[in-house]
Structures are given as structure tokens and as C-alpha cells.
A and B are shown apart, each in its own frame.
Chain A
């Protein structure tokens, strides 16, 4: 069973629809006890980092996420919260991956970064199996993760940033695979294969 973390952050319908299209058994939950039973966890998110962290703390899911050794896939805000902190709030986040999130410079261009973008660099990782650097994924975000040793996929909009990150059992993607047509479906299937 795959657990989808529910922390009032929206877009659960798109994630659960995507899993249904892939014929996967899933539970939407905010209970750490339920997360314990899952083989893998999808950590979605649209919304504000500060209120998302508050909601996670309220159900002690922040602690669960920090301590788990199960495969975790963060989507969009879910990915961002894996890092140490963000200018959104600003606030401290889970800190399982080093790095601080910054806001795109609105002087340089339109924010949010909204639409389909590909990769400037893509390293080998089981999550990206069968996905090419020129495959497009759908993005909507105003804050971005820095490139570092855990970056698997790099993207560029106004500045280079991490679009796919992985450290041990933690993985995150800045885009919305559940809204990214066939390449997105492939990525979700890759995650399920790793679980």
C-alpha cells in the first residue's frame, strides 16, 4: 500500500487519480500509524510552506518523515519541505536534505515559474529510468531549491535550480508528475517499482 500524506495542502485528487490510473492500492492519511503500514509514501503539496509545516507538526508527521527509512517521494512543496529551510514564511523545514529554498527574483522575470520545462542536466537514478533530459514536466512554483550533491535533475528558469533530488530513501521532484502526461506517469511508476 502507498500512503499519500494529507496535510490540507490540496492536489490530493490529482495524486490519487494518477495512482488509480496506475492501478495502485493507496490510502490518504494524516496518521503516523497508517504511514507505518505503507510500503512507500507520497508527500504531495500545494500551498504555503509555513502552514504545511504546522499541519505536519500537529499530527507528528514531521517526526515520522525525518525518521523513516521507507521510500518517500515529495512532490512540489513536498519536495521543498525535505530541505532545511525556505524563504517562504520564512521557516525551518524537515532538513533531511541540505539546502535552503529561495524565491525567484521577480525583477528578472515572471513568477511563478508556470508551465512545461525540461532538464539542463539529468543524472542516472532509478526514479528517472526511461526519462530523458528533453522530456517535459509541468511546474508551478515561486521558490526553488539550490543545486548540490544530491541533485539528480537540474532545470533552469531565471536561474538554475534542482528539479529532482534524492538522498538515501528520500526523493523529491519540483514538478507535478501527476499532471505531466506520459513522462509523469513513467516517473510515478518508477517510484512504485522502487517500493
Chain B
């Protein structure tokens, strides 16, 4: 049976993990490769690396890092953060990334989704959408959630699907960092509208939140950062709890 995926997300700056990580036994908690191996061993189904570097050296450093990660892990991983062109996507996929996630650039230039999915296939194009609730709807934000676009998030999802995105990484700006649970209504509305897999992000605080994202929000995958980095939730234990709740997981 197809299982629901658990995806730790690592923020990367200048080739190093950003958020504090308190894993015991890591030689270097800032080393993305060592952390990736650790997560892979613990049963993570995929990994997402989000590069927040803002320097000119960014691209070279990231490609080097992606090569290094790809040599060491044998589960799929996605790379995102400021990707703007088909050429950059090509470099990252050739370096060994399985998927790229596109966010601000596709809002400004939706055709990038079309061109990228035509050239590399939908399966490696993830549309990352940061959505914030405004009254009865959700608005798309860009630039790391700092800039509202006025675009309706639910309409935008349908457009990214139509243009060839293979998957949606949906972050609730309202819930991100709150540990109060995923925005289940947003997930539910999303899954009513799109026929591509949806990764729930923003708000994971405990195991029951992840169960709800699947049972109530119908998410195909659950992404989180700090709760995994600080071992508030262990991936193995989370998967056992999800299995007890009747969710198919890879154990």
C-alpha cells in the first residue's frame, strides 16, 4: 500500500544547517550531510533542503552541497530556495537532487513551471506555496512569507497543477512556527481541488497533528523542521503512532 511520507526539512545557509540541532552523537550538528544520513537512518521518507543563502556564491555552494548529499544518501531529496531559472534547475538535478521546489519565482513567472516540467518532467517540479488566511480565503505570500501577492492560494494551486507541477508543498504562514497543528481546513480545501500529491507544512507540534493532517486534511506527506531537529518527535515513534491510527507508513 502507498504510504504517507514523513519529511524533515533542513534550512541551509552557506552550506551549513541553520536552525539549532541538538542531536546527540553528531560530530558536527551544522553539517547537512551528517544530519541527512541520520534522518535517513531513522526512517525519514524524503528530505527537503531549503537554501536561505543570499550571497552571490550561493549557487556554487549549493550545487557542491547537493553533490555531496547525493553521494551519501539513498532516499529522495528536494532542494529549494531562490531558484529562478531552468538553468539553475538543470544544475541542481544534474548534481543529484531528485526534485526542486519553486516558490517566489513561479508567482512572478508562472511559465517557469511549464518550461521546467516540459524539460525535466513533472515528477521533479514541486510548487511551494506559502498561504496566509485572510477572512474566508487564503492569500499567497512570497519572499519567505514577507510579501503578500493578492493571489488566491486555492486558485494558484490549480494553476500550478495545470502548468505541470508534480507536487505541492503547502505551508500555512499562520501556523508556521506555532506548533499548534496544521491548518486542516486549508489542507482539506486544497485536496478537494488538486489531483497531485500535497505535502503539509507549518504547525507540527506533536504526533497527533501529523495524524490529523492525514486523517482530516488528507495530506499525502507531512513536513516539519524544528520538532525533528530538537527530537521533540522521533521519526520512528511518530510512524508507529501513525500506524496505530490506521495510517500506512513505511516502517
Q: Which residues of A contact B (CB under 8 A)?
A: 10-11, 13-14, 17-18, 20-21, 46-48, 106, 109-118, 136, 138-141, 156-157, 176, 178-182, 184-185
Contact = CB atoms under 8 A, between A and B. Distances in A.
15 contacts: A10-B124, A13-B67, A13-B93, A21-B71, A48-B121, A106-B195, A112-B122, A112-B123, A115-B221, A117-B1, A117-B2, A138-B76, A140-B123, A141-B123, A156-B1
A179 B75 contact: yes
Contact of A181 (B4, B75, B96, B220): B75
Given A13-B70, A14-B96, A118 B1 contact: yes
B3 A10 contact: no
B22 interface: no
Interface in B58-88: 67, 70-71, 74-76
Contacts, number: 88
Contact of B40 (A10, A18, A113, A181): A181
Interface of B: 1-5, 40, 45, 67, 70-71, 74-76, 93-96, 98, 120-124, 166-167, 195-197, 220-221, 250
Given A46-B121, A47-B121, A116-B3, A110 B195 contact: yes
Given A115-B221, A181-B74, A46 B45 contact: no
A184 B75 CA distance: 10
Helix, strand, loop or mixed for chain A's interface? mixed
Nearest to A157: B2
B4 to A, nearest CB: 8
